[in-house]
Amino acid sequence: MNFTLLFSITPAIVTFVIGILITPIVTHFLYKHHVWKKQGGKTALGGKIAEVFNELKGEHETKTPRMGGIVIWASVMITLISFYVLSLLLPTSFFTDLDFLTRSQTLIPTLALIAGAVIGFLNDFYDVTHKGGGLRLRVRLLLILSLSAILGWWFYTKLGVTAVNIPFDGSLEIGWLIIPFFMFLTLCLYASGVIDGIDGLSGGVFAAIFTAYAGIAIVQSQYDLAAFCAAVVGGILAFLWYNIPPARFWMTETGSMALTLSLATVVFMTDKLGDGNGVSLLLVVGLPLVVTVLSNVLQILYRNWTGKKLFRIAPLHHHFEAIGWPSYKVTMRYWVVSIMCALLGVAIAAVA
């Protein structure tokens, strides 16, 4: 058990080291090719200029490189491939145990990570070459829905997932509806990617969430999945090392989309397949992401009903900035909340 736990955590250390080592290369590339928006600011839903956001962030968008999320998924993939190759070249128990690429636990999260990274990279590429345009929202949504439909179909037909577990109360059988449910979950997690809006904020939040799911996977004896989550945490921490204010680069879509899409699969893998409560626990572990999405939804609904804004600016973390909180204070308090939510989620997983 102790050695199994060690092999589950080792990828985090290796990925962190690799992330630190490749960052100078990534940084050189981003600055050499001026990978940042040529025109700052953005337009709010409805076509109006997002005045509060542009006042807070518009100027920085033309000075800070995007695509920093490359550090995260590249370091994870280098670690995963290295362990896999070593297990083939040196088929001893040590290297075999280090290899965490398995069809039963980590193949789907890995494919989701790669797919999200590619789609996000394309969006970021268009963002810096087409005056901040990026891929059209409907194109991104179509790609995400198509990918999640395929993954949801795989969970349903190939893995036999037809129910969602409820903590302390058995499971909820929904049959083929598991496919649209997974699509909805993936879409919500993608929407939460807008938490990538303050230096260090998204990195700290996602690190806590993936750490929690690594712990949940260990509780459920899904050690390969725990190793995958640990590897992601290592990549995020390497990114976070350079994203603490003032950020050397921003995560943007190639990072946030890779993380949110892979997280959706991890959540499902730790539910019925792991005889756990991964889906329900997301409401606890991922509370900062839930609040981020809800604040956007409430802002839109309130404005449509009353013609006024509920928050100075949505999502909520920018509202705190707009009312005078320093960015570092918002970030640190989100980190604190994320850590507490992660601990609570793992505790519930251990007793539910």
Query: Which tens digits make up the pLDDT trace of 308-340?
Result: 999 999 999 999 999 999 999 999 999 999 999
CB 179 within 8 A of CB 149: yes
Q: Is the pLDDT of residue 45 over 50?
A: no
Bridge partner list, 43: 49
| CB 201 within 8 Å of CB 317 | yes
Q: At 323, list the tokens.
A: 């009312």
b/e 100-130 (16+ beta carbons within 10 angstroms → b):
bbeeebbebbbbbbbbbbebbbbbbbbbbee
Mean pLDDT, the chain, integer: 91
Beta bridge partners of 165: 171
Q: In this model, does residue 46 exceed pLDDT 60?
A: no
Share of the chain above pLDDT 90, in %: 79
Report domain extents, the chain. Answer: 2-351
Of 195, 190, 102, which is closest to residue 146 (Cα–Cα)?
A: 190
> Cα dihedral angle (263, 192, 160, 102), rounded to 10 degrees?
-10
Report d(CA 225, CA 209) in Å as an integer: 14
Question: What pLDDT does 53 receive?
Answer: 56
d(CA 191, CA 156): 24
Question: Does residue 228 surpass a pLDDT of 80?
Answer: yes
Q: Which two tokens stand for residue 225?
A: 């999945």
Give pLDDT, residue 91: 86
To the nearest whole percent, how much of the chain has pLDDT over 70? 91
Give the Cα separation of 232 and 210 in Å (integer).
7
Could you give the count of Cα atoms lying within 13 Å of 16 in the half-sphere of its Cβ? 13
As a whole number of Å, the CA-based R_g of the chain is 20
214-224 mean pLDDT: 95
pLDDT digits over 92-150, tens only? 878 888 999 999 999 999 999 999 999 999 999 988 887 667 788 899 999 999 999 99
Alpha carbon distances (Å) from 239 to 63, 161, 196, 200, 334 = 18, 34, 13, 9, 17
* pLDDT for 168: 84
Report the distance separating Cα 171 and Cα 95, nearest Å: 37
